């Protein structure tokens, strides 16, 4: 892997993420929020309904590496249904590293769901080891699962600003990685709740009807600052900061 910007030269995912101090950037009333997406040249974030075929192993390494740097990982229910998550940090050595860094072994998994239509048999719930917090508007009860699940209910729609404030003030979440999907992402952007976007630009065309990285976003012309640009085998790894 090479770094194109800033300071061109050889690098690696590990080296790039080593200096990433996200926790110290916490806002008073909400976590520092980063998002991560892999997209094709024509802006698709799914191929055959899922994201897996878009990025390379280096993209996966970046995503998994980012998970080790935060207190919580947030996903929308649509992404959970499509991707069927397992334990957030699956590699024991990475969990041990988190503990050495003073973090809990697993980041808190945060799910946003309207209907509580959740794949309860996904490994995230059946494997144990982590913790899950679900924001929903449904009155339905969550079943007993091996992984402990806490449900926080909102009325009408999950108020994402209030949810992030709750995570910061009640759960001590300093930095949060949102892994999408596109509809959750659009709301966070629109509400001005995203601090950084990590976007993997895969060197391929997707075609089809897959979503972009922010679905339902009103027209806005929001400039971004390119904080780094990395390259490996034609795949570009961009880190953008929002400008307030
Ligand atoms: N390429 C990538 O990097 C990438 C990343 C992530 C996802 N994806 C892909 O994106 C697709 C899923 O897209 P999506 O936009 O449907 O996913 P999503 O944003 O994860 O999920 C949308 C769902 O989240 C819930 N939700 C979101 N905001 C809410 C709010 N304010 N209040 C209440 N509920 C809320 C609703 O759940 P309910 O339906 O339960 O009401 C809604 O249907 C999948 O195919 C996945 O593979 C790709």
pLDDT in tens, 10-44: 999 999 999 899 999 999 999 999 999 999 999 99
Count other Cβ atoms within 10 Å, centred on residue 164. 25
The CATH number of the domain covering residues in 2-242: 3.40.430.10
pLDDT at residue 89 in the model: 96
Residue among 223, 213, 240 at smallest CA distance from 55: 213
Write the Ramachandran bin of 129: left for phi over 0, alpha for psi from -120 to 50, otherwise beta.
Answer: left
Write the Ramachandran bin of 84: left for phi over 0, alpha for psi from -120 to 50, otherwise beta.
Answer: left
Query: Ligand 1: does its nearest atom lie under 6 Å from the Cβ of 45?
Result: yes
Atom 30, ligand 1: residue with shortest CA distance: 158
Cα 182 to ligand 1 centre (Å)? 6
* pLDDT of 169 strictly over 80: yes
Write the Ramachandran bin of 102: left for phi over 0, alpha for psi from -120 to 50, otherwise beta.
Answer: left
Cα 38 to ligand 1 centre (Å)? 15
What predicted TM-score, i.e. pTM, was given to this entire model?
0.98
pLDDT in tens, 173-182: 999 999 999 9
Query: Ligand 1: does its nearest atom lie under 6 Å from the Cβ of 134?
Result: no
* pLDDT of 244 strictly over 80: no
Q: Which residue has the tokens 């946003």?
A: 112
Counting atoms of ligand 1 from 1, which one is nearest the CA of 44?
1
Distance of CA 6 to the CA centre of its chain: 24
Cβ(80)–Cβ(134) under 8 Å?
A: no
In a 3-state reduction of DSSP, which class is residue 37?
strand
The DSSP code sequence of 15-33 is HHHHT---GGG--SSS-EE
pLDDT in tens, 88-135: 999 999 999 999 999 999 999 999 999 999 999 999 999 999 999 999
Reading the block at residue 41, the tokens are 């040249």
Cα 241 to ligand 1 centre (Å)? 23
In a 3-state reduction of DSSP, which class is residue 43?
coil
Cα 3 to ligand 1 centre (Å)? 32
pLDDT in tens, 136-157: 999 999 999 999 999 999 999 9
Q: Across the chain, what does the average pLDDT equal?
A: 97
Query: Ligand 1: does its nearest atom lie under 6 Å from the Cβ of 65?
Result: no
Cα 224 to ligand 1 centre (Å)? 23
Q: Which residue has the tokens 């659009």?
A: 186
């Amino acid at each position: 892997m090479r770094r194109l910007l800033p300071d061109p030269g050889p690098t690696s995912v590990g080296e790039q993420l080593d200096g990433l101090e996200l926790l110290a950037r916490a806002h008073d009333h909400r976590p520092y929020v980063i998002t991560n997406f892999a997209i094709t040249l024509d802006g698709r974030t799914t191929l055959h309904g899922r994201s897996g075929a878009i990025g390379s192993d280096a993209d996966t390494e970046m995503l998994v590496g980012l998970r080790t740097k935060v207190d919580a990982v947030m996903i929308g229910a649509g992404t959970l249904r499509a991707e069927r998550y397992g334990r957030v940090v699956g590699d024991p050595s990475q969990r041990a590293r988190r503990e050495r860094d003073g973090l809990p072994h697993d980041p808190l998994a945060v799910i946003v769901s309207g209907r509580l239509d959740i794949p309860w048999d996904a490994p995230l719930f059946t494997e144990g080891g982590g913790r899950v917090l679900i924001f929903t508007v449904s009155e339905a009860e969550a079943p007993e699962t091996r992984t402990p699940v806490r449900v926080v209910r909102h009325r009408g729609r999950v108020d994402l600003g209030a949810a992030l404030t709750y995570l910061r003030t009640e759960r001590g979440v300093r930095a949060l990685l949102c892994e999408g999907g596109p509809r959750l992402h659009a709301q966070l952007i629109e509400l001005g709740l995203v601090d950084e976007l990590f976007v993997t630009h895969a060197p391929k065309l997707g075609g089809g009807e897959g979503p972009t990285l922010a679905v339902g976003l009103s027209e806005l012309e929001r400039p971004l600052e390119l904080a780094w640009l990395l390259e490996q085998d034609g795949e570009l790894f961009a880190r953008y900061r929002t400008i307030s």
